[in-house]
């Protein structure tokens, strides 16, 4: 029983660490384009579903309407997304990617695809010990990378410059 508990605790520790590492890796990719991973998921969904509304976007990304609205607000201000009112009901706003948003969504998708190619190289006949050793080494490599990687800081643009379009 003690061995089982130890294995389970090791699994949970590695699971949390791997999840953190994957989220950090995703944020590293998306932050190069001044968006968070969560904002990228919105861009992806808007790209895939033409004329989607905020409510539909929240449902499809399994988040609340207010959380989706907060993330979407930044995408609108940064010029990645635009809204168009429905002709027969002006309260309904359709969301579409701008050219800038389409380019960013495509570039991030390509970066993720390149990153995913590394996972294809992992053999499928690994034992649990092989997997454990792999993730232990992976964690060590990522921990080193995480400490040494440059931190991204989103530039602050004043409301005046944003209104004038001066980036």
Over residues 43-57, the pLDDT tens digits come to: 999 999 988 989 898
165 or 20: which leads in pLDDT: 20
Asked if the model's pLDDT at residue 123 lies above 70, the reply is no
Mean pLDDT, range 129-135, rounded to an integer: 71
Cα-Cα-Cα-Cα dihedral sign, residues 7, 8, 11, 13: negative
Region 9-164: CATH code: 1.10.10.10
Asked if the model's pLDDT at residue 137 lies above 80, the reply is no
Q: pLDDT band for position 17 (50/70/90)?
A: confident
Kindly list the domain boundaries of the chain, sorted by start residue.
Answer: 9-164
pTM, whole model, 2 decimals? 0.65
Over residues 58-103, the pLDDT tens digits come to: 888 888 989 999 999 999 999 999 988 878 877 888 999 999 999 9
Mean pLDDT, range 11-30, rounded to an integer: 82
Rg (CA), the chain: 20
Picking from 77-81, 114-118, 128-132, 161-165, which range would have the lowest pLDDT averaged per residue?
A: 161-165
The CA distance from 114 to 45, in Å, is 20
């Amino acid at each position: 029983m003690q061995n089982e508990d130890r294995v389970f605790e090791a699994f949970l520790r590695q699971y949390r660490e791997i999840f953190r590492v994957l989220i950090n890796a995703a944020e590293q990719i998306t932050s190069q384009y001044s968006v968070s991973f969560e904002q990228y998921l919105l861009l992806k969904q808007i790209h895939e579903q033409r004329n989607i509304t905020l409510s539909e976007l929240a449902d499809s990304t399994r988040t609340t309407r207010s959380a989706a609205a907060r993330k979407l607000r930044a995408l609108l201000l940064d010029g990645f997304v635009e809204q168009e009112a429905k002709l027969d009901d002006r309260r309904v706003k359709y969301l579409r990617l701008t050219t800038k948003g389409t380019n960013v969504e495509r570039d991030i998708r390509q970066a993720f695809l390149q990153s995913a190619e590394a996972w294809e190289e992992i053999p499928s006949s690994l034992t649990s010990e092989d997997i454990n050793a792999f993730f232990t080494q992976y964690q060590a490599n990522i921990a080193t990378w995480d400490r040494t990687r440059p931190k991204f800081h989103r530039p602050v643009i004043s409301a005046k410059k944003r209104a004038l379009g001066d980036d």
